[in-house]
Structure 1
Amino acid sequence: MRIGIVTPVVVRLPGAHSEWERGAGIEEIGRIAETADRLGYHHLTCSEHVAIPAPVAEERGGVYWDPLATFGYLAARTARIRLVTQVLVLGYHHPLAIAKRYGTLDRISGGRLVLGLGVGSLKEEFELLGAPFEDRGPRADEAIAALRASLSQRTPEFHGEYYDFSGFVVEPHAEQARVPLWIGGRTARSLRRATTHGDGWVPFGLPLDRLAEMLGGADLPDGFEVALSAGRALDPIGAPEAVERALLRVREAGATVTGVSLSADSAGHYCEQLDALRALGREAGAVFQGHDD
C-alpha cells in the first residue's frame, strides 16, 4: 500500500480543515508539496467545483482551488509525486478539452498525472454550466471511453452517441501511454464503471466494512488501484497508535493506495507530521518511492 495526501488548503470542508488553512496560500501548499515529494509520498489531490450555491456551500464548503492551475504550479516544485484530480466532473467538460488541458499537465509534469473522474451530483452547478444533468451517467461512461481513446493520441478518434470526433490534432497530449483513470463514487455501479472503464476506484462516504464487502464481490483487473480514505485527520506525532490502526484498517479493507488528511496547526507542523507519518507508514508496510534517508 502507498500513501498519498489530501492536499490541505485547496479544499475547505466545514469542520474538516485546520484553522491555519484559512490564511494559507500557494507558498504554504508548495512547501508541503515539496516535503511530500522528498519523502516519497504517492500523490497530492485537488478537487473540482466551479461555483457552489451559497446554501450548499454551508454543507460542502465553498473553497475549491482549480486543479489545473494548482497542479501546474506544483508540478514545477516537485519531481516524483503524482498529481491526482479527485475528482473532475466529467459532464462539465468535452473529452477533448480534458485531453488537451490535462494532457499538457501530464507533459509538463513528466508523466505524473492521475485523472480522478466522477459523474457529479450537484444539479445547480450542472444547470449553471449548461451541462445536461438527467443523463449524466451514460454520458460519463461514454466520456471515459472517449478519454481513453484520446489522452495519449495526437489525432484522436472516437464515435459514440454523445461524442463523435476524428480528423483533429491535439498537441501537446499526454506523455504517458496510458494515463491512469480513477473513477469516483459510492455505489456498486461506480465500482463496475471503474473496473470496466478505469484503472482504479476512489469511493467516498462508505464505512470500511461495506467497502471490503463490495471489493470482495468484485472481479478486479490486474493492477487495479483501490484508493481508500484513511478517515478523519490523523495525528502521527500526537497519536501514533491511532494512526497505525487507521492504516491497518484501510489496508485490510483492500486499499492499494490510501489518501490521508493530517491534523496540524501550521504548514511547518504539517511537514513535521508528514515526516512522522512516513516512519509509521513504513513500520505498517507502506511503500514510499525513493526514500531520502
Structure 2
Amino acid sequence: MKFTLGVALSPLDQLTELARTAEECGFTSIGLPDSLFYMKSQSADYPYTPDGSRFWGPETPWVDPLIAAASMSAVTTTLRFYTNVLKLGSRNPLLLARQVGSIANMSGNRFGFGVGIGWAPEEFEWCGVPYAKRGARVDEMIEVIKLVLDGGMVEYHGEFYDFDPLQMSPAPTERVPFYIGGHTGPALRRAARGGDGWTSAMMKFDQLTETIATLRALRAEYDRADEPFEIQAVCIDRHGRDGYQDLADAGVTDTIVVPWLFDGIGFDGELAAKQDSLRRFAEKYIADPIVAAS
C-alpha cells in the first residue's frame, strides 16, 4: 500500500520543504486540496462533516493546487502529486486542460488529476457558472479535458461545451490519470465508468468498505473489473500498523495521512516538527511496506 501526504491547511511557505522531506521519507504522493474562497455565509451544508459546517475559517491558508503541484515538483524528482480534489464545476475545461498538460509535462508525468464537482452554490454562481445541471456539465468537462490532453487536433460538440478543431501542444508524453472524488451514487458511477481511481473525503472504515464493494460492482457492470484502479482513502478510524493493514486488505491502494496530527502538532505547527513527524511515520510504516493479504 502507498502513502500520500495530505498538506491541507498548512502554511504556504512550508509546502516545498514538506515535499522534499516527503520524498526523502518514501511517500509516494502529495494530495493537494482545493478551495476557491471562503464565503461569509454558506447556502449549502458542507457534505463531509456531521453538522454541515466547515472546519476552516476565512484566514485559513489555501493555494491553487495546480500552482502548488508545479512549485513542489520543481524541488523533487520522484514524488507524485494529485489534486484531492479540484472542483471542476466552477471552472473552464479548456483552461484547465492547458494547466494540467503544462504540469504533466513540466513535472515529468508526476501529476494525477483528482476531480469533483464542488459543493457550494456560491463557487459556481460567483464564478459565472450555473449551479443547475452541474453533474452533467462536469461529465462533459472530463470528456473535454481528456480529449485535449490526448493530443492532436480535436473538436467537441456537446450540450454545454462546443468548439471547432483546436490543438494544445505539447500533449503530455504519458496519459494523465483521472481520480474521481465524491461519495454519492452518481459520483461512484462516474469513477467506475471512466476514472483511473476513486478518492475519498473523510470516512469511517465501515462506510469505506461498503463504498469499495459498490465500486467493484459498478466497475464489473461497466466491464472494467480487470483494469487497474486506485482507491485513495482518508479513513478516520483506522490508524497504526494494524489499521493500515485492515485498509490494505479492504482494497485501499493509497492511504492519505497527515502524520503530524498523530503527534499532536496542529496544521499551523512548526516546519521542523512536521518534518520529524514524517520521518517517524516513515520508519514505522513505509520502511517496512504493508501488503494486502492475498
TM-score bracket for the superposition, by shorter chain length: 0.7 to 0.9
- What is the CA–CA distance in structure 2 between the aligned matches of 1:252 and 1:210, rounded to whole Å? 15
Question: Hey, what does 1:237 align to over in structure 2?
Answer: none
Question: Hey, what does 1:4 align to over in structure 2?
Answer: 4
- Secondary structure in 1 matching 2:154: coil
- What is the CA–CA distance in structure 1 between the aligned matches of 2:158 and 2:171, rounded to whole Å? 21
Question: Hey, what does 2:280 align to over in structure 1?
Answer: 276
Tell me by how many angstroms 1:49 deviates: 1.9
Of all paired residues, the percent bearing the same amino acid is 28
- Secondary structure in 1 matching 2:259: coil
RMSD of the alignment, in Å?
2.3
- What is the CA–CA distance in structure 2 between the aligned matches of 1:139 and 1:213, rounded to whole Å? 28
Question: Hey, what does 1:59 align to over in structure 2?
Answer: 54
Question: Hey, what does 1:195 align to over in structure 2?
Answer: 192
Asked if the contact 1:3–1:286 (Cα under 8 Å) also holds between the matched residues in 2, the reply is no
Task: Structure 2: state its 5+ residue gaps.
Answer: 47-52
Asked if the contact 2:87–2:116 (Cα under 8 Å) also holds between the matched residues in 1, the reply is yes
Aligned partner of 1:38 among 18, 24, 29: 24
TM-score normalised by L of structure 1: 0.82
Aligned partner of 2:230 among 217, 225, 239: 225
- What is the CA–CA distance in structure 2 between the aligned matches of 1:231 and 1:156, rounded to whole Å? 43
Amino acid at match of 1:78: T
Aligned partner of 1:142 among 140, 143, 154: 140
Count of matched residue pairs: 264
Tell me by how many angstroms 1:117 deviates: 0.3
Change (3 A) 1:284 1:113: closer
Asked if the contact 1:229–1:258 (Cα under 8 Å) also holds between the matched residues in 2, the reply is yes
- What is the CA–CA distance in structure 2 between the aligned matches of 1:41 and 1:156, rounded to whole Å? 37
Aligned partner of 1:259 among 229, 253, 256: 256
Deviation track 1:222-281 (CA, whole Å, cap 9, x = no partner) reads 21001011437x9xxxxxxx5223312322332111110122342222222222222222
- What does residue range 144-183 of structure 1 map to in structure 2 within 5 Å? 144-176=142-174, 178-183=175-180
Is 2:290 the counterpart of 1:285? yes
Amino acid at match of 2:234: S
- Secondary structure in 2 matching 1:216: helix
Asked if the contact 2:241–2:285 (Cα under 8 Å) also holds between the matched residues in 1, the reply is yes
